[in-house]
């Protein structure tokens, strides 16, 4: 029987991701959607097919018999479609590479050096995604991701780039005051904190053998760009990633105020799926990234 209105391809792709994870939430993370959007797509798919695909339980999803059948039959077809589209693009002499990056890594390291990659590989088009402040998984929508993680990502082809270290900085205008006051500066200036690293200043103080700073006030921000920009504008002192802020240091927009750098448990990893690792465009960006960023720390 032919359906009068076949379901959208996006719903079938979302179904395969949700079925693999047995979770709308994890599927939403991978697809850059909300869980409610994934749930809505699954309801649309079930309505168009006239069958239930999931048993929705309090803490988990289970596939129905129809759901298992659909996953077994549709997922290979979608993979074959992707392969066919890629082959057509290659026959036309072009490759499209989808890259997921943390935004600050993209703006401060990746994009400033991208000219050399484009010059060496003019046949590769790129789609760069920087929506997630700190990507934690390699999504189906990317060929290559750069992830910041405290452990080696599992089930992926993984290359270590460099570990994340933090250094204390302030604006050029405030540097003389910091040099004069030393650690007493925290009583006169705001302490800028990144939301995901609330205890970074405590670790920094321990490294210097100081008491935890008791600042005049605290400014908490949710992106590293906002942290760096706030320090550059003289709002307070901040801890920023050393390797990613070299341009700010060279321009004089930010000044290192103490010589100590604080090591974190996080490392930047370049990852791809094992089945994608031998694609020419994936090998090209991997080799380029290793040459560019393994020396960044």
Handedness of CA 2, 82, 136, 10 (dihedral sign): negative
Task: Dump pLDDT digits (tens) for 246-295.
Answer: 999 999 999 998 878 889 999 999 999 999 999 999 999 999 999 999 86
**pLDDT tier, 100 (very low <50, low <70, confident <90, very high otherwise):** very high
- Where do the domains of the chain lie, and which CATH numbers do they carry? 9-90 (1.10.10.10), 95-297 (3.40.190.290)
Q: What is the mean pLDDT of residues 134-140?
A: 84
Give the pLDDT score at 26.
86
Beta bridge partners, 254, equal 171
Backbone angles phi, psi at 135, to 5 degrees: -55, 135
95 with 280: CB under 8 angstroms? yes
pLDDT at 1 over 60: no
Average per-residue pLDDT for the chain? 88
Exposure of 212 in the CB half-sphere (CA atoms within 13 A): 6
- pLDDT score of 296: 54
Rg over CA atoms, the chain = 24
The SS3 call for residue 123 is coil
Query: Average pLDDT, stretch 38-45?
Result: 92
Sorting pLDDT into bands at 50, 70 and 90, what band is 134? confident
How many other CB atoms are found less than 10 A from the CB of residue 93? 7
Burial group, residue 119, by CB count within 10 angstroms (0-12, 13-18, 19+) = exposed
Across 85-94, 95-104, 252-261, least confident range: 85-94
What is the rounded distance in angstroms from the CA atom of residue 84 to the CA atom of residue 95? 13
Q: What is the pLDDT of residue 80?
A: 84
Q: What is the pLDDT of residues 177-236, one digit of tens each?
A: 888 877 777 778 889 999 989 889 888 888 877 777 777 789 999 999 999 999 999 999
pLDDT of residue 184: 76
Predicted local distance difference test score (pLDDT) of residue 211: 78
Cα within 13 Å of Cα(156), Cβ side: 23
């Amino acid at each position: 029987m032919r359906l009068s209105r076949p379901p959208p391809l996006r719903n079938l792709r979302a179904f395969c991701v949700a079925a693999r994870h047995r979770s709308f939430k994890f599927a939403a993370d991978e697809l850059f959607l909300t869980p409610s959007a994934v749930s809505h797509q699954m309801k649309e798919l079930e309505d168009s097919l006239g069958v239930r695909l999931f048993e929705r339980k309090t803490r988990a999803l289970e596939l129905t018999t129809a759901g298992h059948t659909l996953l077994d039959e549709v997922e290979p077809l979608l993979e074959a479609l992707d392969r066919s589209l890629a082959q057509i693009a290659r026959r036309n002499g072009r490759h499209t590479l989808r890259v997921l990056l943390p935004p600050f890594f993209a703006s401060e390291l990746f994009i400033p050096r991208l000219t050399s990659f484009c010059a060496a590989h003019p046949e590769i088009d790129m789609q760069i995604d920087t929506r997630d402040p700190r990507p934690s998984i390699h999504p189906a929508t990317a060929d290559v991701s750069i992830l910041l993680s405290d452990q080696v990502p599992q089930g992926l082809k993984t290359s270590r780039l460099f570990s994340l270290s933090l250094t204390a900085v302030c604006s050029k205008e405030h540097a003389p005051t910091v040099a004069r006051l030393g650690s007493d500066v925290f009583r006169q200036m705001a302490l800028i904190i990144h939301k995901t690293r609330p205890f970074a200043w405590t670790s920094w103080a321990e490294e210097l053998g100081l008491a935890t700073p008791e600042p005049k006030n605290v400014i908490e921000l949710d992106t590293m760009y906002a942290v760096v920009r706030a320090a550059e504008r003289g709002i307070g002192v901040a801890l920023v990633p050393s390797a990613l802020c070299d341009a700010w240091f060279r321009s004089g927009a930010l000044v290192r105020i103490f010589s100590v750098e604080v090591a974190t448990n996080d490392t930047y990893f370049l990852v791809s799926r094992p089945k994608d690792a031998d694609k020419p465009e994936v090998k090209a960006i991997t080799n380029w990234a290793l040459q560019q960023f393994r020396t960044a720390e």
